[in-house]
Amino acid sequence: MDKPTKGLADVVAASTALSDIDGKAGRLFYRGYDIHDLAGRATFEETAHLLQRGTLPNRAELQAYGDELVAGRELGPLVSANVAEIAEKQKPMEALRSLVSLASADDPDRDSIEPDADLRKAARLTAQQPLLVARYHAARSGKGVPESDPVLSIAGNFLHQVTGRTPSPREAEIFDACLVLHADHTMNASTFAARVCAATLSDMHSAIVAAIGTLKGPLHGGANEQVMKTLESISPDGVAQTVRDKLAAGEKIMGFGHRVYKTEDPRATHLRRMSEELSGDEPKFYRMSKEMEEVVFETKGLYPNVDFYAASVYHYLGIPTDLFTPVFSISRMSGWTAHVIEQHADNRLIRPDSEYIGERDQKWKPIDER
């Protein structure tokens, strides 16, 4: 047997029509559309439709899908009854794992994995995830959540409900583009976890709980939060020296390098511009980020990834730092659910082999002789 590849690096685990990466050229595609053509042009709702239903919608299709999302924003009684207690006892990603699991009991299609049921559940999960994050944040803050505005997009509603103020049209547009940029990214860890779960013919909510549990791990989610904490912990006058000291000590600077991209992450290109635009009269964190980027590239030759400039963008939009990873889940819900749909449509149990490295030919002894 061939030697196993640690971490399954470069091992093709599934066929997918959802997204593709050209790591050498630094390009990302959703169903054949370059991310540079989608970001800032296609809305998150259009992108979710593209991933889940296969096409960029026309006006009638977008209206119908949008109506479905608006109808799906309501949380069921079991989730609503437990948000406050969960917010009191669990951190954000733990809470989302619990709340999505509870949401399965409230879902009218909970007992079905048929194609139409999967489509309906995908839309409801996409609509509910931002509300779950907002309700959690409000509950732990002792505040109420503003009612969803059917006129506002998913992006606009989320900013309104989390910050308590109606975002400017441009703020909503920028956050909408952020959601598009994070919507899917081939066979990353959380997506793989969702597909492994779905491949057992388990239901969509179970697969999404598996994805959220995987995203919770600091080697997958949380890098943007760590970037923000780093920016807040160092002096604006000491960025270059701090970065060089950390690198010399063998410490990792979060937000740099990528398993697949050998050049700049195409999503970082957009997020850098957004950070600069939003910085306005408070350019400190953008300027610090830019200096950090220059020092890391000069010292290590590493490019920023999607997490690096996302940190300052979310900060400028007024999103609390410990909600950065939950925000990732809001966007990625569109991709996770699309992968579950795809897995259920052409399923085979995912069951890789393993290489045994333990002891052999052990002889059993009764307990009194051990």
List 34's β-bridge partners, or say none: 29
Provide the b/e sequence for 194-214 (b: ≥16 CB within 10 Å): bbbbbbeebbbbbbbbbbbbb
Provide the b/e sequence for 29-56 (b: ≥16 CB within 10 Å): bbbebebeebbbebbbbbbbbbbbbeeb
Average pLDDT over the chain, rounded to whole?
A: 94
pLDDT of 138-194, one tens digit each? 999 999 899 888 889 999 999 999 999 999 999 999 999 999 999 999 999 999 999
pLDDT of 201-259, one tens digit each? 999 999 999 999 999 988 888 889 999 999 999 999 999 999 999 999 999 899 998 87
pLDDT at 218: 86
pLDDT at 283 over 70: yes
Task: Report the pLDDT averaged over residues 66-78.
Answer: 94
pLDDT at 12 over 90: no
Catalogue the active-site residues.
Answer: 220, 258, 307
**Cβ–Cβ < 8 Å for 185, 164:** no
Element (H, E) at 310: helix 306-316
Tokens 């600091």: give the residue: 218
Interatomic CA distance for residues 98 and 139, integer angstroms? 15
Three-state secondary structure call for residue 325: helix
Whether pTM exceeds 0.85: yes
Torsion sign across C-alpha atoms 49, 62, 99, 133: positive
